[in-house]
């Protein structure tokens, strides 16, 4: 059982259905680039207030770990009640909408902070409520996910939203972490001031190299199978790469499905045949269809 993480070994004593249920749970894979981004976010959440706060832009293709990384960070910075019975919300995370404007952006922040407001209230009213709440709840960091949707709006609306982001950061003096696909970077750099304020960091697709094989070895430690699969073995590693395109969310889904198959057929390991026998379509095949 040395191929398994010590917390996973005990799962082998569960019945088949319970093991399958545990397999489907999402577990954090702490690889190098993700850890670097998390460390940078930790630096930002502890950054003292200055006139020009640093910001971060996380770039990643769909299903390549961006949203799960944000959730991991949020779990480490949950709201709490202080010694003075004040509700403290260290980090606020919102997901921007395709038709977003300054008014809806402020509404999303108020919703996340559970601040009561009138839906028909003017933008100025919502603005004041937002900044009062950010200060009262001691918010240290604002995360805005799906920032790439700005590229699907008009040039005027995009400019207005970018101006709002600048105003938010300047007025509240908190770092902003934007997240989205590579189009999010294109949107941000269209404003020269924001381009200088947002440090880009990327979660790239994996390549067929040593780091990728180390990633597979880490995955194997978290799959509740009694026998070693040796996922980092060349043939299996290449097969997984071909089926997933090096996208970590696809790798995760594929290995979960293969693990469930190995549990059901009692082989207790993932082999080349296990992968080939799965009813699986690669991301490229799905796009073609």
Tokens at residue 248, please?
């970590």
Rounded Cα distance between 235 and 243, Å, is 12
- Is residue 217 situated within a structural domain? no
CA 203 to chain centroid: 10
Interval 80-128: pLDDT, tens: 999 888 999 999 999 998 888 888 899 999 999 999 999 888 889 999 9
pLDDT mean over 134-156: 90
In this prediction, residue 126 carries a pLDDT of 94
Q: How far apart are CA 189 and CA 206, in angstroms?
A: 25
* 49 within a domain of the structure (yes/no): yes
Would you place residue 151 in the very low, low, confident or very high pLDDT band (cuts 50, 70, 90)? confident
Q: What percent of the chain has pLDDT over 70?
A: 100
The pTM of the full predicted model, rounded to 2 decimals, is 0.88
Q: Which domain holds residue 122?
A: 32-203
**Closest-CA residue to 249 (of 25, 68, 1, 16):** 68
In a domain, 115, yes or no: yes
Can you read off the two tokens belonging to residue 166?
């600048």
Same domain, 138 and 36: yes
The reply to whether 210 falls in a domain is no
User: What is the domain-level CATH number for residue 89?
Assistant: 3.40.50.300
Do 184 and 142 reside in the same domain of the chain? yes
- Give the angle 85-175-160 at the CA atoms, nearest 5°: 115
On whether both 13 and 48 belong to a single domain, the answer is no
* Same domain assignment for residues 242 and 158: no
Neighbours of 237 (CB within 10 A): 18
Is the per-residue pLDDT at 209 higher than 80?
yes
Is residue 289's pLDDT more than 80?
no
Residues 226 and 181 in one domain: no
Q: Which of 170, 203, 236 is the last residue of a domain?
A: 203
8-state DSSP, 204: P
Domain stops at, among 173, 203, 233: 203
Would 208 be classed as within a structural domain? no
Specify if 214 maps to a domain: no
């Amino acid at each position: 059982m040395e191929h398994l993480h010590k917390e996973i070994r005990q799962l082998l004593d569960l019945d088949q259905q319970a093991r399958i249920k545990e397999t489907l749970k999402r577990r954090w894979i702490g690889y190098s680039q993700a850890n670097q981004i998390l460390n940078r976010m930790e630096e930002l959440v502890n950054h003292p207030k200055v006139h020009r706060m640093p910001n971060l832009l996380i770039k990643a293709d769909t299903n390549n770990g961006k949203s799960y990384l944000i959730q991991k960070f949020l779990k480490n910075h949950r709201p709490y009640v202080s010694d003075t019975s004040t509700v403290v919300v260290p980090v606020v995370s919102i997901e921007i909408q395709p038709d977003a404007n300054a008014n809806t952006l402020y509404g999303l922040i108020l919703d996340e902070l559970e601040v009561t407001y009138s839906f028909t209230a003017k933008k100025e009213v919502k603005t004041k409520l937002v900044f009062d709440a950010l200060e009262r709840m001691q918010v240290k960091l604002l995360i805005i996910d799906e920032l790439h949707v700005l590229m699907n709006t008009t040039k005027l609306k995009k400019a207005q939203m970018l101006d709002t982001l600048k105003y938010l950061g300047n007025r509240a003096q908190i770092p902003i972490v934007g997240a989205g696909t590579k189009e999010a970077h294109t949107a941000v750099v269209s404003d020269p001031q924001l381009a200088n304020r947002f440090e880009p960091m990327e979660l790239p697709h994996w390549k067929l190299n040593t780091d990728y094989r180390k990633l597979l070895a880490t995955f194997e430690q978290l799959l509740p199978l009694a026998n070693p699969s040796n996922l980092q073995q060349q043939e299996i590693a290449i097969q997984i790469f071909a089926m997933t395109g090096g996208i970590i969310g696809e790798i995760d889904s594929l290995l979960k499905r293969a693990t469930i198959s190995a549990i059901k057929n009692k082989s207790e390991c993932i082999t080349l045949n296990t992968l080939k026998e799965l009813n699986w379509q690669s991301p490229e095949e799905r796009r073609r269809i």
